[in-house]
A = this chain, B = another copy of it.
Amino acid sequence: MAEGDYAARTRIILDGWACRWKGLPNGQRQITELLLPGDICHAHSGMLLRSDHSIATLSTCIIAEADPTELTALLKQRPMVRQALRWSSLQTNSILRTALVNNGLRQADQRLAHFICEIWARLQSVGLAKDGAFSWPLTQIDVGEIASMTSVHVNRTLGKLRRDGLITLHKRRMSLPDMARLAESCDFRPDYLHLKAELGSSDP
């Protein structure tokens, strides 16, 4: 989907990684959010807003598409589904705010560490991270466009995290030997993801 398009159907990522991004006339790009398996793509249905950003896949993906009329019906009948969509929008909001803090305040090493922690937590919550290890399809260029730094500096910074024994990254696979130390190094506190506790409270 490209910037300026009218919001398309609601989609859900079943497998693979995608992202939302915005570009500048000079060619620079900024990835604003990662879309991981289980994430909802557009919940704009019915608002007829022009999208202000683009969406792209970062790996091969399997994506489910919701039929608009059925979705509307579902939303009328099932308040919990409506609530889930609203929850998703608030979580997105919260993740965006945290990204702003992360990219704005922390410097390279802590910034990447925090980003890695977030991915870990999100994948963990959908069962895709076992023993602190998970698939990592991102190139260093991708990471640069997420963390607002050049791929060269991403490379050097990942090297530092490696030398510090905080991460192992090989063949598109990331593993975190010492999760506690990594989280502490960048003050990662997963509250902002609203993952466990709130999922429980929305059960009844």
Q: Looking at the assembled complex, report how far the CB atom of A83 sits from the nearest CB atom of chain B, in whole angstroms.
A: 8
Neighbour of A48 across the interface among B20, B192, B201, CB < 8 A: B201
Q: Does chain B have a CB within 8 A of A101?
A: yes
Q: How far is the CA of A93 from the CA of B42 in the complex (A)?
A: 12
Residues of B within 8 A of A101 (CB): 22, 24, 30, 32
Q: In chain A between 8 and 47, which residues have their CB closer than 8 angstroms to a CB of chain B?
A: 20, 22, 24-25, 28, 30, 32-33, 44, 47
Contact A44:B90 (CB < 8 A) given known A24-B106, A105-B28, A192-B52: yes
Q: Does chain B have a CB within 8 A of A98?
A: yes
| Contacting pair A97 B22 (CB below 8 A) | yes
Q: Does chain B have a CB within 8 A of A168?
A: no
Q: Does chain B have a CB within 8 A of A187?
A: yes
Q: In chain A between 82 and 98, which residues have their CB closer than 8 angstroms to a CB of chain B?
A: 83, 86-87, 89-90, 92-94, 96-98
Q: Looking at the assembled complex, report how far the CB atom of A183 sits from the nearest CB atom of chain B, in whole angstroms.
A: 13
| Contacting pair B28 A98 (CB below 8 A) | no
Q: How far is the CA of A33 from the CA of B103 in the complex (A)?
A: 15
Q: How far is the CA of A118 from the CA of B112 in the complex (A)?
A: 29
Residues of B within 8 A of A20 (CB): 97
Q: Looking at the assembled complex, report how far the CB atom of A106 sits from the nearest CB atom of chain B, in whole angstroms.
A: 7
Residues of B within 8 A of A30 (CB): 100-101, 104-105
Q: Does chain B have a CB within 8 A of A148?
A: yes
Q: How far is the CA of A113 from the CA of B160 in the complex (A)?
A: 35
Residues of B within 8 A of A105 (CB): 24, 28, 30, 148
CB-CB nearest 10 A-B residue pairs:
A104-B148, A52-B192, A96-B96, A32-B97, A30-B101, A22-B101, A28-B105, A30-B104, A52-B94, A32-B100
Some 7 contacts from A to B, beta carbons below 8 A apart, are A22-B97, A32-B101, A47-B86, A50-B191, A50-B194, A52-B192, A93-B93
